[in-house]
Structure 1
């Protein structure tokens, strides 16, 4: 035991494999003034034990919600002072909810006539915890005889895997000296000039193998490549200081440039994976991006499905079948054909009519210059479309891609028929 107070107890646990973690169990008071003592106590514990740099989990009954959505009553629809104080404490400590399954609310008043449910119990972790236990997960169980839902913390919930890893285009590939030539050659080898969107999408799919090969040969396991480049640079620096010849100085400069280049690639990789857009490129915030990526992967990964019957499915193959069936029913339901509504019926819905000039403007197709200008304004780190290609690929290869992406045939009266046929492949292009 490392620390004990009226509302918490902190212990160190040996999880095996040289993994030591710190656990703080909390049982917060009912009164807000007393809970404030717990918030101060947690801050002191973190500072005294230097828990900001080691795996730390804080769990228990906090007797306080962090957001009004964690209260079942619709009348609770804004932040109050206790909520804000609790949120500020969590932010100061750098802890957040561990990914959990089962019910959102963990407490109820057991009163059917004036029912209330809240999320008062939670398991919170810090960033070092996610790095050490990336597959950990909390599960809240039925309350049984209690009014609170107990929680189980599992340190190693394996992610379901099935099939091959999907293709993903990383923007850093455009920085490689051979990128343009590689894509250009693959583009010409993929067939004749694309005169419609369907052919264009086929050509985009064919260049993926060359892009994957370029990435695999030059940037696979980028973190290890950066470490190796740094070690070689250190050796060259020592040699240049020991024997300051022109050859050794040139070798040092060459290795330094390579190391800086790989560091830039590493930063770009984690920036794109983290989805953070408000930091400037070139700051080398690699550690920051890496941590955010770990948190996103841990929180967003799908480990199981809970069916309407209450059955929990963890088999990845079965999960895939269920997911496809769900979205087919949602997006392409088997419905009987109905007769279309007349224009008069639609016009009767509202007396408003926009001016003819506005009506014409709404159906006016954009010019090549407008499309190109909007394309180059797109966020390079934005999530890619269904084709896994980002706008950065189109920008980097626009000299020859643009010539086929913007012919007048694409804006012909049959454009919507073509779009319907290839909509799943043109998300990033459009």
Structure 2
């Protein structure tokens, strides 16, 4: 019987990766399951995503402000993308320094607190021990709170980013234009005539304001559908005083030019396994 299944690799793979291939019994299928065993420890970088706990860091605002003061070039939407891309590295470093391995940090802080409290019970306590207990208690509560905030983020497959923020902003603002209170107050005879007067058309084509953009942004949940860049609507709300001007400029630019970069509508396709644990 002819063998239907093959594994193909190029020279670059064979030179850099040590691997073996095993063909498993086919069972009732026409195809044989193929198992690729990679001996090398290949590190796969995780996609960037904004975490709700980051704004609680004392250095978060400084990182955002520093990147936002750097000079960038290009169209207004591209200008915004460049700044967000440059912000990823500082935020990754912040996460590594202050928010990585929170489970271990919580356990370590708890054990240190219990050791201090044990010493107080055994010795009757002292001013130094009571002060130390207070500091350790606050540290333990802080790590527990950070872990809770981290758990409120949707997993990687639900990261909500600028790629979703801007299209949603445009959709919400477009809907707002058609349901504005000013339009509701137009005289009914206007619609019966079938034509609009210049004074009325000027209302319908009025420029979008920054307040309307911010209001539309607030309608979007902090965590939503997966996109590419990883920045959530929560990021823009938390840093609005710094990034709001550029965000509004990018949103208004779309309504003026009608041009949206392909990246703004790009997305990720994630394969979700049908079983909890894969079996060979």
5 Å-filtered alignment, 1:31-70, equals none
Query: C-alpha distance in 1, partners of 2:93/2:128?
Result: 33
The alpha-carbon deviation at position 231 of structure 1 amounts to 0.9
Could you tell me which residue of structure 1 aligns to residue 78 of structure 2?
Answer: 198
Change in CA separation of 1:394 and 1:364 when aligned onto 2, cut-off 3 Å: same
* 1:398 counterpart = 2:240: yes
Query: C-alpha distance in 2, partners of 1:194/1:250?
Result: 54
The alpha-carbon deviation at position 169 of structure 1 amounts to 1.8
Contact kept, 8 Å, 1:229 with 1:259, in 2: the verdict is yes
Contact kept, 8 Å, 1:387 with 1:425, in 2: the verdict is no
Query: C-alpha distance in 1, partners of 2:251/2:53?
Result: 32
Could you tell me which residue of structure 1 aligns to residue 90 of structure 2?
Answer: 210
Structure 2 residue corresponding to 1:423, chosen from 264, 270, 275 = 264
Query: C-alpha distance in 1, partners of 2:153/2:250?
Result: 34
Change in CA separation of 1:142 and 1:425 when aligned onto 2, cut-off 3 Å: closer
Could you tell me which residue of structure 1 aligns to residue 105 of structure 2?
Answer: 225
Q: Which has the higher helix share?
A: 2
Change in CA separation of 1:367 and 1:166 when aligned onto 2, cut-off 3 Å: same
1:234-275 per-position Cα deviation (integer Å, ceiling 9, x unaligned): 112223333422322222121111111111211222221359
5 Å-filtered alignment, 1:9-408, equals 142=28, 163-189=44-70, 191-192=71-72, 196-241=76-121, 242-273=123-154, 365-407=207-249
The alpha-carbon deviation at position 376 of structure 1 amounts to 2.8
The alpha-carbon deviation at position 381 of structure 1 amounts to 2.7
Question: What residue ranges of structure 2 are gaps of 5+ in the alignment?
Answer: 1-26, 31-41, 159-193, 268-280
Query: C-alpha distance in 1, partners of 2:111/2:266?
Result: 43
Contact kept, 8 Å, 1:169 with 1:389, in 2: the verdict is yes
Query: C-alpha distance in 1, partners of 2:250/2:152?
Result: 37
The alpha-carbon deviation at position 392 of structure 1 amounts to 1.7
Q: Which has the higher strand share?
A: 1
1:368-422 per-position Cα deviation (integer Å, ceiling 9, x unaligned): 11211222343223245321111121111111101222249934764322x2255
Could you tell me which residue of structure 2 aligns to residue 56 of structure 1?
Answer: none
Change in CA separation of 1:413 and 1:180 when aligned onto 2, cut-off 3 Å: closer
TM-score (norm 2): 0.58
Query: C-alpha distance in 1, partners of 2:220/2:119?
Result: 46
With a CA cutoff of 8 Å and minimum separation of 6, indicate the structure with the bigger relative contact order.
2
1:157-198 per-position Cα deviation (integer Å, ceiling 9, x unaligned): xxxx77532222211111112211122122223x25886111
TM-score (norm 1): 0.39
Change in CA separation of 1:212 and 1:245 when aligned onto 2, cut-off 3 Å: same
Cα RMSD for the two superposed structures: 4.2
Q: Which sits farther off after the overlay, 237-246 or 392-401?
A: 237-246
Contact kept, 8 Å, 1:180 with 1:396, in 2: the verdict is no
Query: C-alpha distance in 2, partners of 1:386/1:188?
Result: 24
Contact kept, 8 Å, 1:378 with 1:391, in 2: the verdict is yes
Q: Secondary structure at the match of 1:380?
A: coil
Query: C-alpha distance in 2, partners of 1:403/1:355?
Result: 37
Question: What residue ranges of structure 1 are gaps of 5+ in the alignment?
Answer: 1-140, 145-160, 276-296, 301-353
